[in-house]
Chain A
Amino acid sequence: MSLPKRILKETERLRNEKDTGIKATIHGDNLRYFDVEINGPEGSPYEGGVFELELFLPEDYPMSPPKVRFLTKIYHPNIDRLGRICLDILKNNWSPALQIRTVLLSIQALLGAPNPDDPLANDVAQKWKEDENAAKATARQWTKEYAKKVSDQKEEA
């Protein structure tokens, strides 16, 4: 099946319009599969981290939402150990008018504003509610440990 015009357009736009802190590149020769990098938003415990995600456009995209998953380990009440994300627009609030770009921006916003009242990772959410500072410290530490920029690692090496 040929690729819908919509996906081609979006891919092109992603290549040309660079948003700060968001990068999506086609993975190999599968034009529906993207490697994504999101920078932790400023002022959040994830600041300075670069998080890798995978994004897949299902057959009936844009009628169905894209499937997105964190590959980098992250300490966040709405993201579980497998990297699955609890975000309304990826589920029942999906609108075909949304795009890859807007989805990624929403995920970035979720990093800046965790919602422990609608948790996916229960233990993390619990911690977040009991002792927010400690939870944020853990998040910061995980960011340092797992979400380092590749370039940083090279520098260290």
Chain B
Amino acid sequence: MMSDEEYFSDGSDGTFQDDSMRFDDVEEEDQYLEDTRFDKPVKKAYEVDFKVHSDQQIRSGQQAQFEEISNILGLDIGQAALLLRHFKWQKEKLIEQYMDNPDSINKAVGIRPEAHEDTKITKVKDFVCDICCDDGDSMETFALPCGHRYCVECYRHYLTQKIKEEGESARIQCMGDKCTMAFDASDVQAVVDDDTFTRYKTLLDRTYVDDRESLRWCPAPNCIYAIECGVRQKQLNQVVPTVLCDCGYQFCFGCGLADHLPCPCSLVKKWLKKCEDDSETANWISAHTKECPICVSTIEKNGGCNHMTCRKCRHEFCWVCMGPWSEHGTSWYNCNRFEEKSGIDARDTQAKSRASLERYLHYYNRYANHEQSAKLDKELYTKTEKKMTQLQSTSGMSWIEVQYLDNASKVLQQCRQTLKWTYAFAFYLEKNNLTHIFEDNQKDLEMAVEQLSELFEKPVDQLANLKVEMMDKTAYVSSRRIMLLEDTAKGLAEDRWKFNVELV
């Protein structure tokens, strides 16, 4: 096995050189402070490039593409927009296919570039609307280029229903039966009221972001931003694209769940499913039942007698030693036959099936513990603010000087989140040398986190004196987190990790 030192020394810069001194706190922290200054501009292996877009930017981004297509193909903006949406914003494909066969595409999308004049709202003599059966010369009528003319009132009713009730936007068609002529934004604007049109534009923005693989809405409640990131779905086994929205929410671009570094999305999905199915039941099974030595059915003992008969395979055995009942001879109801071979065998089988359960519970309990601790730390965070003001008054420190508490509590929460997912990650890891390194990293981070967490619990009057220690610890903890994430991210990218399940 490689030593830790060797392994980390092939990191791109000096970040990990201090690894051999990891138990020597003082030196290491000094080293770290230097390192942060040193490697700040370098992108970490677990970081991905992304960009946060406001709704304005989303809209202008679309507009730019409409104009581009409109120029290339000589269509108006509305038609270009319909084409782009139909082709899910794949410009090259659109241009290529449109050049080849414009007519069939026009038909499929529902546009008619050659007809422009007909879409205005006009009054027609002797008009009877086929939808509402109203008539009158003063009635305003509307039609798309297909010429299916109905009264404006009916169109307004129709569009409002489509937009507000059905949430339709990109694919609203003419009211005529089997007519596929499509509404573009200007057609909609001509007919509906402002409120509905605003809603329509919002819906269009939504479909734009949903249609594009490189965009995703921030899932935080009431957040208006969308994130752009180049990581594709098929890359998700090599990279965990974690992004930070301008609203402060950190989440995975791949699956939309909250930050789950270092675990790849497919493992997260598996793990969450397993936890949902198993955790509580597994706990109970582990505490209350044993398996039949023959057919491995799970059995709960519900009476005082140790003479068990499996309901499924009719095997008779002793609850205490798990050996066959027949071997108990005359010592029935008094199991003192510990060394009997068949009893040992039976306990072996049981031990094996229990082992996998226990393994799961080991990881699950730690995962759940960090989740719980993160929640408690969050409560602590609200208390932090109180502590910060208290500290200002008792120690005479300024607001700036007490910011280290705020920082510490943020780092603490982030590390808990990471630790939580390291356990899900570890559950699916096969045991080998790399796993050892991973577990060492995990252990170091966990230890440091617990220490920081403990410092945090200290009464306010001591906090002022602990400032340096706390800042050091905070810096150390975040450096350990970075190290662990660097290692796992590189491993994923290089396909170094061996998992005991298929990544799908």
Q: Is the interface of A mostly helix, strand, loop or mixed?
A: loop
A154 part of interface (Cβ distance < 8 Å): no
Determine if A60 and B133 form an interchain contact, defined as CB atoms under 8 angstroms apart.
Answer: no
Q: How far is the CB of B127 from chain A (nearest CB, A)?
A: 14
Give the A-B contact count at a CB cut-off of 8 A. 39
Q: Decide if B176 touches A97 in the complex (CB within 8 Å).
A: yes
Q: Does B130 contact A (CB under 8 A)?
A: yes
Q: Check B121 for interface membership: any CB of A closer than 8 A.
A: no
CB-contact partner of B134 in A5, A62, A64, under 8 A: A5
- Residues in chain A within 8 A of chain B (CB atoms): 4-6, 8-9, 60, 62-64, 89, 93, 95-98, 102
How big is chain B's contact interface, by range?
10 to 19
Complex CA–CA separation, A101 to B158 (angstroms):
21
Query: Is A63 within 8 A of B161, CB to CB?
Result: yes
| Interface residue from B134, B158, B178 paired with A96 (Cβ < 8 Å) | B158
Chain A residues with Cβ below 8 Å from B148 are: 97
**Residues in chain A near residue B305, CB distance under 8 A:** none
Task: Please name all residues of chain A whose beta carbon is closer than 8 Å to the beta carbon of B150 when the two chains form the complex.
Answer: 96-97
Q: Is the CB of B161 within 8 A of A97?
A: no
Expressed in whole angstroms, the minimum distance between the Cβ of A31 and any Cβ of chain B is: 15
Given the complex, which residues of B lie within 8 Å of A60, measured CB to CB?
157, 161
Q: Which of A64, A97, A102 has the most CB of B within 10 A?
A: A97
Query: Which positions 158-179 of chain B face chain A at CB distance < 8 Å?
Result: 158, 161, 175-179
- Inter-chain contact B177/A97, CB cutoff 8 Å: yes
CB distance from B335 to the nearest CB of A (A): 56
Decide if B133 touches A97 in the complex (CB within 8 Å): no
Tell me the smallest distance from the CB of B91 to a CB of chain A, in Å: 29
Binary contact track B349-372/A, C-beta < 8 Å → 1, others 0: 000000000000000000000000
- Which of A4, A9, A93, A96 has the most chain B CB within a 10 Å cutoff? A96
Residues of B close to A6: CB separation below 8 A: 131-133
Does B154 touch A at the CB level, under 8 Å? yes
Which of A9, A62, A89, A95 meets B176, CB within 8 Å?
A95
Docked CA distance A6–B134 (Å): 8
Q: Which residues of A contact B157 (CB under 8 A)?
A: 60, 63
Query: How far does the alpha carbon of A97 sit from the alpha carbon of B158 in the complex, in Å?
Result: 11
Select the residue from A63, A89, A102 with max chain B CB neighbours within 10 A.
A63
Interface residues of B in 101-154 (CB under 8 A from A): 130-134, 148, 150, 154
User: Are A95 and B175 closer than 8 Å at their CB atoms?
Assistant: yes
Complex formed: what's the CA distance from A64 to B165 in Å?
A: 11
Taken together as a complex, chains A and B put the C-alpha atoms of A85 and B130 apart, in Å, by 26
Complexed CA–CA distance, A93 and B148 (Å) = 17
Complex Cα gap A96–B175 (Å): 6
With A60-B161, A63-B161 known to touch, is A98 a contact of B177 (CB < 8 Å)? yes
B131 touches A96 (CB 8 A): yes
Specify which of B133, B158, B161 is in contact with A9 (CB 8 Å cutoff).
B133
Sample 6 A-B pairs with CB under 8 A, ordered by A number: A6-B133, A8-B133, A62-B131, A64-B161, A96-B175, A97-B175
A6 to B329, CA, bound (A): 92
Interfacial chain B residues near A8, Cβ < 8 Å: 133
19 additional A-B residue pairs with CB within 8 Å, beyond A64-B161, A96-B150: A4-B132, A4-B133, A5-B132, A5-B133, A6-B131, A6-B133, A9-B133, A60-B157, A62-B132, A63-B157, A93-B178, A95-B175, A95-B178, A96-B154, A96-B158, A97-B131, A97-B148, A97-B175, A97-B177
The 4 closest A-B pairs by CB, nearest first: A9-B133, A95-B177, A5-B133, A6-B133
Shortest Cβ gap from B220 to chain A (Å) = 33
A62–B158 Cα distance when bound, in Å, is 9
Residues of A within 8 A of B133 (CB): 4-6, 8-9
* Cα of A155 to Cα of B131 in the assembled complex, Å: 43
Distance of A63 from chain B, by nearest CB (Å): 5
Q: Which of B133, B148, B178 has the most CB of A within 10 A?
A: B133
In the complex, what residues of B have CB within 8 A of residue A64's CB?
A: 161
B178: chain A residues at CB < 8 Å are: 93, 95
- Minimum distance in angstroms from A9 CB to a CB of chain B: 4
Complex interface: chain A residues within 8 A of B161 (CB): 60, 63-64
In the complex, the chain A residue whose C-beta lies closest to that of B173 is: A95
- A62 vs B151: C-alpha distance in the bound complex, in angstroms? 14
Q: How far is the CB of A17 from chain B (nearest CB, A)?
A: 15
Contacts of A9 in B (CB 8 A): 133
Q: Which of A89, A93, A97 contacts B130 (CB 8 A)?
A: A97
For A94, the closest partner residue in chain B by CB is B177
